[in-house]
């Protein structure tokens, strides 16, 4: 995977890729106080790029900043336009977009509040996050020995740079143990989310997913809920333990990067038939077609370049 592009948007200007550098004393680099987003743009039937649910992503970006007590002069509309411009200037017909707000150099120390908040938007080509094989046949997960932060330890509903150390520890552990991805439980032992995905289980035609009180309110998750509602598939947002996977007929995870990836195994226990279940496949197809402008009722979520 190459993260290269011609230009990166930095504080309102387009900077050539190799010149988009930061100072080593940038505050975020030391302490992790920054927020980011992950957005995908897909090629639409007219051959041009369309950003999937741009408004929801950039609203979450601004909400994350607000929760961290930081503010940016950039408005929602300006950020959406900056994402569109980033696609245009780089001539991308599909891309992963990465807005990031980080605190620059100046004062050090945890209480520093006066440093400049920079906003960056980068874009690159990013294929299937869990691999094409993962999308087709599902991935193997392991319940992590790392717990998701307690709600009084971090504001998990915000997409904060520093929160991802918890995710990375879980991901390294799962990978070193031979699994593709980790499943994180919360402090009560209930299922929270993947390291960068929300999770769903299906049993007897009923889909269940944990509520978003203390996990990232995923935009892909919201789309799955919209699809279930539109298709008349029962879905509950309710807490459950890891045992729900052990007894499930099907399971899947979803996120902007991971899109909709079946889970075929948790903790060396096969989920259902151990592949991509029929309901998962149906929702996955609607999602994959929807983001590409092929499902009329989902097309309003697309912002065309």
Instruction: Write out the residues near ligand PMP by the rule CB under 6 A.
Output: 38, 167, 193, 196-198, 216, 218-221, 255-256
- Contact criterion met (CB below 8 Å) for 3 and 96: no
Minimal distance, residue 219 CB to ligand PMP, in Å: 4
Residues 6+ apart with CB under 8 A from 24: none
Q: In this complex, which beta carbon is closest to ligand PMP, that of residue 193 or of residue 250? A: 193
Contact 79, 61 (CB under 8 A): yes
Cα separation, 94 vs 56, whole angstroms: 19
| Nearest residue (CB) to ligand PMP, 105 versus 222 | 222
Which is nearer to ligand PMP, 61 or 179 (by Cβ)? 61
Measured from the CB atom, is 112 or 213 closer to ligand PMP? 213
Q: Least distance to ligand PMP from the beta carbon of 21, Å?
A: 25
Where in the sequence numbering do the catalytic residues fall? 159
CB of residue 72 vs ligand PMP: minimum separation in angstroms?
A: 19
* Closer by beta carbon to ligand PMP, 58 or else 119: 58
With b for 16 or more beta-carbon neighbours within 10 A and e for fewer, the 240-273 pattern comes to bebebbeebbbbbbbbbbbbbbbbbbbeeeebbe
DSSP 59-119: HHHHHHHHHTT---S--HHHHHHHHHHHHHHTT-SSEEEEEEEEE-SS--STT---SPEEE
Residue 182's nearest CA partner among 88, 270, 253, 274 is 253
Q: CA triplet 164, 183, 276: central angle to 5 degrees?
A: 120
Question: Is the CA virtual torsion 69, 74, 78, 81 positive or negative?
Answer: negative
Q: Could you identify the residue written with the tokens 């879905």?
A: 235
Q: How far is the CB of 114 from ligand PMP (least distance, A)?
A: 29
Query: Measured from the CB of residue 200, what is the shortest distance to ligand PMP in angstroms?
Result: 12
Phi, psi dihedrals of residue 108, rounded to the nearest 5°: -110, 175
> CA 77 → CA 101, 147, 247, distances in Å?
16, 36, 45
Identify the CA nearest to 227 among candidates 204, 190, 196, 252.
Answer: 252
Give 7 or 28: the residue with its C-beta nearer to ligand PMP.
28
Could you tell me the smallest distance in angstroms from the CB atom of residue 119 to ligand PMP? 18
């Amino acid at each position: 995977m190459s993260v290269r592009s011609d230009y990166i948007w930095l504080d309102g200007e387009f900077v050539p890729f190799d010149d988009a550098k930061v100072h080593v004393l940038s505050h975020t680099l030391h302490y992790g106080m920054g927020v980011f987003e992950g957005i995908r743009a897909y090629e639409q039937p007219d051959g041009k790029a369309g950003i999937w649910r741009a408004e929801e992503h950039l609203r979450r970006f601004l909400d994350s900043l607000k929760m961290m007590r930081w503010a940016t002069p950039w408005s929602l509309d300006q950020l959406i336009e900056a994402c569109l411009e980033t696609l245009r200037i780089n001539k991308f017909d599909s891309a992963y977009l990465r807005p990031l707000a980080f605190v620059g150099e100046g004062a050090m120390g945890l209480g520093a509040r006066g440093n400049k908040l920079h906003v960056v938007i980068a874009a690159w080509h990013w294929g299937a996050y869990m691999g094409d094989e993962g999308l087709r046949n599902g991935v193997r997960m392991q319940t992590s020995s790392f717990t998701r932060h307690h709600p009084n330890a971090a504001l998990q509903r915000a997409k904060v740079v520093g929160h991802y150390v918890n995710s990375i520890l879980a991901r390294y552990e799962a990978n070193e143990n031979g699994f593709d991805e980790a499943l994180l439980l919360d402090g009560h032992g209930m299922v929270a989310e993947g390291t960068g995905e929300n999770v769903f289980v299906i049993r007897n035609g009923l889909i269940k997913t944990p509520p978003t009180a203390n996990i990232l309110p995923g935009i892909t998750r919201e789309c799955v809920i919209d699809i279930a509602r539109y298709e008349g598939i029962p879905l509950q947002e309710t807490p459950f333990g890891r045992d729900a996977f052990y007894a499930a007929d099907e399971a899947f995870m979803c996120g902007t990067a991971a899109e909709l990836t079946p889970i075929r195994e948790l903790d060396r226990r096969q989920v259902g038939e151990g592949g991509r279940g029929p309901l998962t496949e149906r929702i996955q197809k609607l999602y994959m077609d929807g983001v590409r402008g092929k499902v009329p009722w989902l097309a309003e979520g697309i912002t065309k370049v």
